[in-house]
Amino acid sequence: MKKTALLALLSLGLLTATSCKKDTQTSEKAVVTGTNSIQYAKGLSLQHYDGYSVVKVTNPWPDAKEGFTYILQEKGGIIPDSLLKYTTISVPVQSVVVTSTTHIPALELLGVEDKLVGFPNTDYISSEKTRARIDAKKVKEVGKNESLNTEVMIDLDPGVVVGFSIDSNNKTYSALEKAGLKVVYNGDWTEQTPLGKAEWIKLIGALFGKNEEAETLFNKIKKDYTEAQAIAKNATKQPSVFSGAMYQDTWYLPQGDSWAAVFLKDANANYLWKDSKGTGSASVSFEAVFDKAQNADFWIAPGDYSSIKELLDANPHYAQFNALKNKQVYSFALKRGPKGGFMYFELAPTRPDLVLKDMIRIVHPELLPDYQLYFFQKLN
């Protein structure tokens, strides 16, 4: 299996210096003049005031013991003395470096993709619109996320760097902050609900002075998601589903509280590992998976395999599953960008409504007969 396969499987469960003071307080009651506009995201709060906004990122990485507070100052806005200890960013920002492909759709939906000046590992970007800007040399390669090229970044001098980190060891970002750049942590990837992930578009909206636009976009996504969820409740049966695939000697599959498992639950499917505890990926033996899933109706998201032949070449024992025998195997791996990046990884967090509709169309085709699958396709 290719190296990206492990990333695919794990994702199923699928991105400091004095200038960025850490905030050990992880929650704060909204005050009358600055009500928190966030409804679903657990690791984000956004309070708007006259002339400025207060952003709190309380879960920048899994099990974070501290969060970050940022002040977004509008032109002419006066910031209270009590908030001056936090990082202040002038908004709307005029240029940005983002560090995860999941940030790209928010820029495009808000119409500010032209503000993107740098990105690490640009080959991972799948969007045709942003790829065209990369090809036109308008988006610069800035290294790798864990080791951004400091000289290039300083030369670009973006209004803000939207970063992510897997833990508190953030030497690259600390170096950028010491050089005077503003870094904002985006914790969208730590959210374990579809609408929680999608709501982080409001952070990007706030940075670009597009609060109303972000609110409108999110409300439309929420409406479409909840309507699809209601349709799924009309199903008269719950087809059984399993997921993941083998990597070396271990089968990785999404745990019962994970982002991927929530989609299957909301699609009214019987995910066979729905009772497993955890929000990441479970490590299971082939025998354990076979014992439970041999007769399952559907196999959804088998790593990054793009055909039945690839699956069987990797492990002939896959042929023993009824879902494969009946050609009921569905993968996101067929929809890739020009450089091989997966559109699912890039766009799905922002458009959970499309993922849920895909799941419903697969397991309950009679409920959405005219819907065309967007991310997932049946493997030939």
pLDDT tens digits along 305-326:
999 999 999 999 999 999 999 9
The position carrying tokens 């640009």 is 122
Whether residue 166 is contained in a domain is answered as no
Whether residue 236 is contained in a domain is answered as yes
| Residue 260: both structure tokens together | 């991927």
Total domains present in the chain: 1
SS3 163: strand
pLDDT one-digit tens code per residue, 157-166: 999 999 999 8
| Residue 361: both structure tokens together | 């169309």
CB 33 within 8 A of CB 50: yes
The number of beta carbons lying within 10 Å of the beta carbon of residue 227 is 13
For 3, 244, 250, 324, 380, the CA distances from 328, given in Å and listed in that order, are 25, 14, 22, 6, 10
Whether residue 348 is contained in a domain is answered as yes
**Global pTM?**
0.90
- Mean pLDDT of all residues belonging to the chain: 91
| Residue 138: both structure tokens together | 């308008």
Q: What is the mean pLDDT of residues 258-279?
A: 96
Whether residue 328 is contained in a domain is answered as yes
Domain that holds residue 316: 232-378
pLDDT of residue 33: 55
The number of beta carbons lying within 10 Å of the beta carbon of residue 285 is 12
pLDDT one-digit tens code per residue, 165-198: 988 888 899 999 999 999 999 999 999 999 999 9
pLDDT one-digit tens code per residue, 97-115: 999 999 999 999 999 999 9
SS3 254: strand
Check pLDDT > 60 for residue 251: yes
Residue 378 is inside which H or E element, if any? strand 377-378
Half-sphere exposure of 157 (CA within 13 A, CB side): 1
For 20, 61, 170, 181, the CA distances from 146, given in Å and listed in that order, are 18, 14, 8, 16
| Residue 277: both structure tokens together | 């505890």
- How far apart (Å, rounded) are the C-alpha atoms in residues 195 and 240? 24
Percent of the chain with pLDDT over 90: 84
CB 330 within 8 A of CB 300: yes
The number of beta carbons lying within 10 Å of the beta carbon of residue 84 is 9
Whether residue 261 is contained in a domain is answered as yes
- How far apart (Å, rounded) are the C-alpha atoms in residues 102 and 346? 5
From the centroid of its chain, how far is CA 118? Answer: 19
Whether residue 67 is contained in a domain is answered as no
Q: What is the mean pLDDT of residues 354-375?
A: 98
CB 99 within 8 A of CB 60: no
The number of beta carbons lying within 10 Å of the beta carbon of residue 288 is 11
pLDDT of residue 263: 98
Q: What is the mean pLDDT of residues 351-360?
A: 98
CATH assignment of the domain containing 239: 3.40.50.1980
- How far apart (Å, rounded) are the C-alpha atoms in residues 148 and 175? 10
The number of beta carbons lying within 10 Å of the beta carbon of residue 167 is 10
Q: Which of 241, 271, 238, 268 is closest to 255 using CA atoms?
A: 271
CB 192 within 8 A of CB 258: yes
Which of the 8 DSSP states describes residue 55?
Answer: E
Half-sphere exposure of 101 (CA within 13 A, CB side): 21
pLDDT of residue 6: 39
Which of the 8 DSSP states describes residue 317?
Answer: G
58: CB partners within 8 A, 6+ apart: 26, 27, 42, 43, 44, 45, 64, 67, 187
Whether residue 32 is contained in a domain is answered as no
Whether residue 344 is contained in a domain is answered as yes
